[in-house]
Amino acid sequence: MRQVPVLIVGGGITGLSCALFLAAHQVPCLLVERHPDLLSHPRARGITPRTMELYRQVGLEESILAAAFAGSDFAWVPVRAETLSDEVYETPDEPSESDGAEASPCSFGPIDQDRLEDLVRSHARRLGAELRFSTELTDFTQDDSGVTAVLTDRATGASEQVRASYLVAADGFHSPIRHRLGVPADGPGRLFDTITAIVDADLRPALRGRRATIAYLQRPRPYTIMMAHDAEGTRWVFGTGHDPSREPIESFTDERVAAMVREAAGLPDVEVRLRPQIPGTDMKVLAFPIGAHVARNYRVGRVFFIGDAAHVWPPTGGLGANAGIQDAHNLAWKLALVTAGAAGPGLLDSYEAERRPTGLMTMGQALARFGTRMGPGSAPEIVEYGAVALGYRYRSAAVLGGDEDGDTTPLLPRELRGQVGTRAPHVPVERGGRRISTLDLYGSRFVLLTGPDGDAWAKAAKDLPLPVDVYRLGVDLASDTAAEAHDLAPGEAILVRPDGFVAWRSTDPGALAGALAAILCR
């Protein structure tokens, strides 16, 4: 029987990103996806600065920007109307928001999910991840030492058994793995069902020079959207609600969808052409549910849930794919240390402790934005987008000395100053004559940041069982502001995890070894 440290089930952006991050940590992994290839539908149309930071860690930032459909100055323009031809567009009642780019070395990444998946897949393979399409998980069992999985080749019908130390379920909204393990979910549940298509249609006469990157419309029925797929206004993503019990997907023929697009646009004579969405097929219309729930557990034994298998919410705000990628990043470095024997298995408990509260907070914010864009009224509970996307806080055994009350209210990006449980600040510094961000120090190992008086910390770090990089701000890293930006008092240091989150801060170098051992559950 073949052995592999980590088996990933699901080849969407979350599963692919998990394979990429594991491969970057040199963890052998096998990903299986039942479909023959990636989906051509764009779905998510951009990634936040925080998610860009994660891809920057593994050397993918430049490729993403090169493949982007717009420059870094791209901005979403959401509108509400009856049809796209209305004389007046309403603006959703939301506060003016930043995405946190001012506190990051990265800008928003305007890239379609299908293009991003292609880049991530290629890079993961370059780093050594094994990705197998047309391969389905048809059975699995787990015990105290691992998971035994049955994988079936959908082209030939041949099956094989694989033994994995851990299984990562990235198998989507319906997550057969989660349901088989009996894990319930909290939240409103299924809200409605939608069909979606990519269409070529010149809707510029409806726009009349106005910008509307995403329009929330009432025609031909509620829950209709038209999302611009190019800058010219000639290619669009069309979506609308439907009742699958009365309208099977087969009833949405090219002619019917084209008529619906004309009604949504308010242009009865415009030519509309649908585009295939799965390579090698003529499938042009997809159906999927829109819902909101968060799994009660993110882990059962040696099985972990990430992305839509763990949480779903409406796409308003574009928070779903970003949260899934961040799930994968959080889990990958922990699996890397545990499978290498550098950390105890208890470290893996911190995945759920950190990501589930973040999922619940993010679901609430996605629902709040859904209310302002798809329904009447305002939503005073909306938290600024940059705080949701970048300022979330962790409370777990893998962060020591956080707020005693366990407060996880997200912080504004400008408020990130090295607090325990938060993403470490971005500060431009000079190292070896080259300008970098302090965030470029993170990704593979723990990092200790001190002020110029940090010689005792450097000495303490030499005796640790796990390599820790030590940088003295103002000495090893040239900067007049970095120590202040991290709120470092004289003699103080902060310990930053491989994911860039602050794990601990102290003025006692003698406590370093014990703190690291506690974080690693050793």
297 plus 443 within the same structural domain = no
Q: Decide if 92 is inside a domain.
A: no
Question: 349-376: string of b/e by CB count within 10 Å (b at 16+)?
Answer: bbbbbbbbbbbebbbbbbbbbbbbbbee
Q: Decide if 274 is inside a domain.
A: no
Which pair of structure tokens corresponds to residue 59? 């050397």
Domain containing residue 124: CATH number: 3.50.50.60
Question: Using CA atoms, how far apart are residues 270 and 383, in angstroms rounded to an integer?
Answer: 40
Q: Decide if 76 is inside a domain.
A: no
| Phi and psi angles of residue 378, each rounded to the nearest 5 degrees, phi first | -105, 170
| Phi and psi angles of residue 446, each rounded to the nearest 5 degrees, phi first | -70, 145
Helices and strands, counts by H and E, the chain: 13, 22
Q: Decide if 199 is inside a domain.
A: no
| Phi and psi angles of residue 433, each rounded to the nearest 5 degrees, phi first | 80, 5
157 plus 41 within the same structural domain = yes
Question: Using CA atoms, how far apart are residues 482 and 473, in angstroms rounded to an integer?
Answer: 6
> According to the model, what pLDDT value does residue 107 have?
92
347 plus 396 within the same structural domain = no
Q: Decide if 268 is inside a domain.
A: no
Query: Which residues lie below 8 Å from residue 353, measured CB to CB, with a gap of 6+?
Result: 394, 395, 396, 397, 398
Domain count along the chain = 2
pLDDT tops 80 at residue 43: no
Q: Note whether 57 and 33 are within 8 A (CB).
A: no
pLDDT tops 60 at residue 510: yes
> According to the model, what pLDDT value does residue 46 have?
84
Last residue of a domain, one of 350, 382, 414: 382
Q: Decide if 202 is inside a domain.
A: no
Q: Decide if 277 is inside a domain.
A: no
372 plus 448 within the same structural domain = no
161 plus 112 within the same structural domain = yes
Distance separating the N- and C-terminal Cα atoms of the chain? 31
Of 226, 190, 198, give the one whose Cα is nearest residue 83: 226
Question: Using CA atoms, how far apart are residues 58 and 52, in angstroms rounded to an integer?
Answer: 10
129 plus 18 within the same structural domain = yes
Last residue of a domain, one of 382, 413, 442: 382
Within 13 Å, how many C-alpha atoms sit on residue 501's CB side? 26
34 plus 164 within the same structural domain = yes
Mean pLDDT in the chain? 92
> According to the model, what pLDDT value does residue 52 have?
97
Q: Where in the sequence numbering do the catalytic residues fall?
A: 216
361 plus 417 within the same structural domain = no
Q: Cα angle at 119 between 116 and 123, to 5 degrees?
A: 140
DSSP sequence for 311-351 = EE--STTS-HHHHHHHHHHHHHHHHHHHHTTSS-GGGGHHH
The parent domain of residue 458 ranges over: 386-519
User: What digits encode the pLDDT tens for the residues 121-145?
Assistant: 999 999 999 999 999 999 999 999 9
Question: Using CA atoms, how far apart are residues 114 and 215, in angstroms rounded to an integer?
Answer: 21
Q: Note whether 295 and 182 are within 8 A (CB).
A: no
Q: Decide if 273 is inside a domain.
A: no
322 plus 427 within the same structural domain = no
> According to the model, what pLDDT value does residue 405 have?
53
320 plus 351 within the same structural domain = yes
Last residue of a domain, one of 328, 360, 382: 382
DSSP assignment letter at 412:
P
6 plus 24 within the same structural domain = yes
Query: Which residues lie below 8 Å from residue 184, measured CB to CB, with a gap of 6+?
Result: 295, 296
Question: Using CA atoms, how far apart are residues 342 and 345, in angstroms rounded to an integer?
Answer: 10
User: What digits encode the pLDDT tens for the residues 57-96?
Assistant: 999 999 999 988 877 677 778 898 999 999 999 887 666 6
Question: Using CA atoms, how far apart are residues 16 and 40, in angstroms rounded to an integer?
Answer: 15
Give the three-class secondary structure for 391: coil
Domain containing residue 478: CATH number: 3.40.30.120
- The model's pTM is 0.91
443 plus 509 within the same structural domain = yes
Q: What is the mean pLDDT of residues 304-317?
A: 93
> According to the model, what pLDDT value does residue 168 have?
98
Cβ count near 231 (within 10 Å): 12
